[in-house]
Amino acid sequence: MTSTSTCKIILAMAFVVGCWGYSPTGIHIGLQGYDPGHLALLRFLLASLLMALIAIFKGIRLPQWRDVPLLFALGFFAVSLHHVALNIGQQGIGAGASSVLAQSSPLFSTLLARLVFKDRVSLWRWGCVLLGFVGVVIVVSGDKGMGAINAHGLLILLAALSWSLYFALQKHHARRYDGFSLGCYAVWSGTLLLLIYLPGLADAVMHAPTRAQWAVLMLGVFPSALAYLAWGFVLKHVDLSRATMTLYLIPPTAMGIASWGLGERPTLMVLMGAVVVLISVLALNLERGVGVVRAAESKA
């Protein structure tokens, strides 16, 4: 790998972290002018338009009719359910704490692997899951107090679970499409499902404050579209286990952006809980990495 390629990969990783780190702050600002459903719909209408323009020039694999239900399921979990739950949840959870809770999706992936796909789950992974959920409780209680463990905090966790379901479906059933094509169909189908929030959207756009308008534009262009393209570029050049390590930079980045853009100051308990959650998720990925190495060695 040349130094130029390495530089491009590093820049792409930094771009992804910055975009997804901005998302919780952008959502909080967007909610100042839109309700959760309108915010999700408008954000992904913009993302769908941008990805359609890119697809015209880049090209895209046409879907098979038998895959249409799967593509809508991907859109439901990755876009519709995930982002509506996230938007509603962030009405009662700080942006920094929300970014930490959203990173708990690998914990749900472990539960899905055992309960749904009947995969073997080691004692180590069960320990990581337990540790991770302890961290989740610390984050929520440190953000708004123990009384905040209500619908708002649970909805952020529902968004993380929805994201885990998306990746599980993608991994087990969607190998016939490249990453860009699959991303486009997930965004487009998810946006179609969000059209149930279309009534009243035009009026909301007319009356939303300028700051909220800019936040939605930023959310639609960067975290919802361009960041996925950059992430696809990273995954083409870096193996998944190494690339996902980059995602651990998102919560501290999100906290920094929220501190600057929203004046949020995370409490010590939120920071402690964030460390616990991220350590648990990191430990899960480290065990998977060791398993991959051992499997490769056994084949050699």
pLDDT tens digits along 92-128: 888 888 888 887 777 777 777 666 666 676 788 788 8
Sign of the C-alpha dihedral, residues 64, 66, 71, 72? Answer: positive
Task: Quote the pTM value.
Answer: 0.82
| Max Cα distance, the chain (Å) | 64
3-state secondary structure of 103: coil
The whole-angstrom separation of Cα 50 and Cα 221 is 7
Output the pLDDT for position 76: 95
- List, in order, residues 6 or more apart from 214 with CB less than 8 Å away: none
Parent domain of 245: 3-299
Q: Is the Cβ–Cβ distance between 122 and 49 less than 8 Å?
A: no
281 in Cβ contact with 132 (< 8 Å):
yes
User: What is the number of structural domains in the chain?
Assistant: 1
Paired tokens of 6: 């390495």
pLDDT for residue 295 is more than 70: no
Find tokens 């960041």 and name the residue.
227
Reply yes or no on whether the pLDDT at 43 is more than 80.
Answer: yes
